[in-house]
Amino acid sequence: MDIKSDLKKISGENILTSQEELIPYVRDASPFHGEPPLAVAIPENVTELSRIVKYCYEHDILMVSRGGGSSLTGSSVPLGEGIVISLAKFDKILETKIEDRYVVAESGVRLDALNEHLSNFDHFYPPDPASSRICTVGGTISTNAGGLRGAMYGVTKDWVLGMEVVLPNGEIVQFGSKTLKRSAGYDFTSLMIGSEGTIGIITKAILKIWPKPEKTGRILSYYEKIESGGKALAGLKAKGINPLIAEFMDRISLESMRVAKGIGYPERTNYMLMIDIASTAESLERQMNDAAEILKEFNPISLKLTTDKREMSEMYEARKGLYSTLLSQRKSASEYLILGDVVVPASELPAALNEIERAIKKHGIFVSIFGHIGDGNIHANIFSDPDDVENMRRVDNFQMELGRIALSHGGSVSAEHGVGIEKKELLKEEFTMRNSPGTLSLMKAVKLAIDPKNLMNRGKIFD
């Protein structure tokens, strides 16, 4: 059996086999390196994709699907001898129905491209991971990605109505529909969300869309203690103000933004809150003033209000680019950043953060913390040096403790990055601590029911 030539018979020029061409597919945005695949398939359409998958299934060849390659947990890194299937050519927006508030997009469409298209209709697709310029519809569904706007709009699972999927045996199936309501048996759409390419390859999706907010304004408030920020946000919610965005950043994050983007902050600041309010043009000012009054009650060092689009855009982009600006804080070129991603109920966030700060000190590592305070999502960004064995041991221990802290506050070990390779042990820990090992067994049973040969993205989520 000559796999490469067989695949070329199916897909011709869309099969890459030279060593040079395979190198970039060994990695994604995580620190994990996989093994060079036998080939990379970049099919043109679902029929071609289905034939490739069917061939792999019949010949027991491992398959890893790949969208934008922006996974932070190694979801799209190929493990074992198999092929990578790139959805790069599934990049078309097929249907836009404003009156029914949905869009049908192929899975390789990048989120920013989708929103650029929707902005022509004054609508948008709310999930906005920081990697929205490169991440894709399929990839974000596969990891149930979130983002900055989660405080008001939730995450990907709240915006997917249905999808087309190629199953591990090559069969093409349709899940969900174009309607908001549907009560017709098992909800396989939900099953696919967060499945990280382990039970099928998403080829297109029906996504809910929403009118763009008429006007938005921003309040930046600076605090010495995170408790004040947490209480301030709770105060807003208690008064019925639901922010569009509610982000927090620690001093290390703020300092890296100052160095990279020239965005300053008051001297005594340890944490900053970034609160965006969306409203009508007529009531925005009143709502911002109301919110500012509440925030003032919690002793901020200072408060800044703006509706200037350019200023807001600069800060928004700086926040989205925080991962890259943090790289400037590395102590050596061999260091890289592990992006921790846990979640707790929003009200538990200040207490959880205090415990995390203590854990950082205990493990003696350098960590920057920012995240989505509106939905309790904490990103602990760990500066790690693979050349330093002792440092990596401490980093691993801290990661485990970080997960346990989140679980002890009723949260989860993964908020929006998925499990991939990185969090397999943490996922076990989550179900152990919740006294529910059966959940993991059930996940494995579902996987084997749909993919009995365990060919799709083997070694991800669990072994």
Partner 1 sequence: MGYNLIYGARGRVDLGNYILKELLKNGKLSLRFKDSFYSCLSCNACLQVCPAGVNAGKVSELSRRLIADYDSFTTENEQKTAKMIVNVTMKYMNPLGVREKCANWSRDIAFDSKSKSLFYTGNMFQLMPYSISLGKMKKKIGKKISDRISEFISNHPSFIKIVGMSADRDLSDRMREELRNIVRLLKDSGISFSYLGEDEPYPGTFLYDLGYEKEFSEYANRVYSLFKSKGIEELIVLDPHTYDILSSKYPKYVKNFDLQVVYYLDLLDISKFNRTNVKTTIHEPCLLVRGSKENNSPVEILSKLSDLELPNRNGKNTNCCGGPDELLYGEIAERVAEERFTQLERVKAQKIVTACPVCFANLNKKSNVVELPDFLTTISGEK
Q: Using CB under 8 A, which of the segments 12-20, 56-64, 243-251, 349-357 binds partner 1?
A: 12-20
E-state strands within 167-235: 172-176, 201-208, 210-211, 215-223
27 binds partner 1 (CB under 8 A): yes
CB nearer partner 1, residue 71 or residue 221? 71
For 145, 239, 384, the CA distances from 342, given in Å and listed in that order, are: 13, 27, 18
CB nearer partner 1, residue 42 or residue 199? 42
308 binds partner 1 (CB under 8 A): no
Query: Which of 6, 17, 35, 88 contacts partner 1 by CB under 8 A?
Result: 88
User: DSSP readout, 175-191?
Assistant: EE-SSS---SS--HHHH
238: CB partners within 8 A, 6+ apart: none
212 binds partner 1 (CB under 8 A): no
Helices in 12-77 by DSSP H: which ranges?
Answer: 19-22, 46-58
Min separation Cβ 407 and partner 1, Å: 28
271 binds partner 1 (CB under 8 A): no
Query: Which of 6, 8, 10, 26 contacts partner 1 by CB under 8 A?
Result: 26
Alpha carbons 129 and 142: distance in angstroms, whole number: 13
CB nearer partner 1, residue 313 or residue 436? 313
Query: Which of 29, 145, 288, 367 contacts partner 1 by CB under 8 A?
Result: 29
CB nearer partner 1, residue 96 or residue 397? 96
CB nearer partner 1, residue 33 or residue 239? 33
**Crossing angle of helices 349-363 and 226-238, rounded to 10°:** 160
For 72, 233, 352, 353, 360, the CA distances from 356, given in Å and listed in that order, are: 21, 20, 6, 5, 6
25 binds partner 1 (CB under 8 A): yes
Min separation Cβ 131 and partner 1, Å: 5
Query: Which of 1, 2, 20, 332 contacts partner 1 by CB under 8 A?
Result: 20
Query: Which of 191, 301, 327, 433 contacts partner 1 by CB under 8 A?
Result: 327
Helices in 80-174 by DSSP H: which ranges?
Answer: 111-119, 137-142, 150-153
69 binds partner 1 (CB under 8 A): yes
Query: Which of 86, 189, 221, 377 contacts partner 1 by CB under 8 A?
Result: 86
Residues 237-256 that bind partner 1 (CB under 8 A): none
Q: What are residue 355's phi and psi, to 5 degrees?
A: -65, -40
Question: 35 is written with which tokens?
Answer: 């093994």
323 binds partner 1 (CB under 8 A): yes
In the beta sheet, which residues pair with residue 223?
271
Radius of gyration of the chain from Cα atoms? 22
CB nearer partner 1, residue 19 or residue 183? 19
Alpha carbons 118 and 451: distance in angstroms, whole number: 36
Residue entry with tokens 């040969």: 453
Alpha carbons 171 and 283: distance in angstroms, whole number: 52
Residues 127-146 that bind partner 1 (CB under 8 A): 130-131, 133-134
Query: Which of 24, 386, 437, 438 contacts partner 1 by CB under 8 A?
Result: 24
Alpha carbons 255 and 261: distance in angstroms, whole number: 10
101 binds partner 1 (CB under 8 A): no
Q: How do 39-41 and 82-86 pair as beta strands?
A: parallel
Number of residues that bind partner 1 (CB under 8 A): 27
CB nearer partner 1, residue 118 or residue 284? 118
387 binds partner 1 (CB under 8 A): no
148 binds partner 1 (CB under 8 A): no
CB 422 within 8 A of CB 459: no
Min separation Cβ 373 and partner 1, Å: 21
Question: 233 is written with which tokens?
Answer: 């946000």
Cβ neighbours around 191 below 10 Å, total? 15
Residues near partner 1 (CB under 8 A) are 16, 19-21, 23-27, 29, 42, 69-70, 86, 88-89, 116, 130-131, 133-134, 320-321, 323-325, 327
